[in-house]
Amino acid sequence: MDAADFFTAELAFRTDASDVQRDRPGLILLDCRGVDAWRQSHIPGAIHLPTREIATRAAAELPKDGRIVTYCWGPGCNGATKAALELAKLGYDVREMIGGIEYWQREGFPVETPQGNGGRRPDPLTTVVDTTRCGC
């Protein structure tokens, strides 16, 4: 495998928060964290399906014909990778959102919390603060 093959494969199976926000109408977002994390905050419209329950619940709860994007906490967590692997084994078209909900929030995208829907100001260390696109 050469560098071009590696990066082509990387882009085929991973995405980021900005691309998910842009492509959102055509995606199924799957939050694979536990119930306490889900309650704390999650992306509005996401489906909650913890990784440990994918094998038993996915067929009944996820459409086979959609593109699924998994997310977990952030770059220090490989939960989204584990969830994507489980879904891939079941034959789903799946991508992993790198950065997880941490970078979703750092880029200023909305979340649902017990207090309602909202978001935070974009973090200038992760995105351009005066636009919704990083330009890369």
Active site residues: 72
Tokens standing for residue 30: 């799957």
Q: Judging by beta carbons within 10 Å of its beta carbon (0-12, 13-18, 19+), is residue 127 exposed, middle or buried?
A: buried
Closest CA to 93 of 114, 122, 110, 70: 70
Tokens standing for residue 62: 């996820």
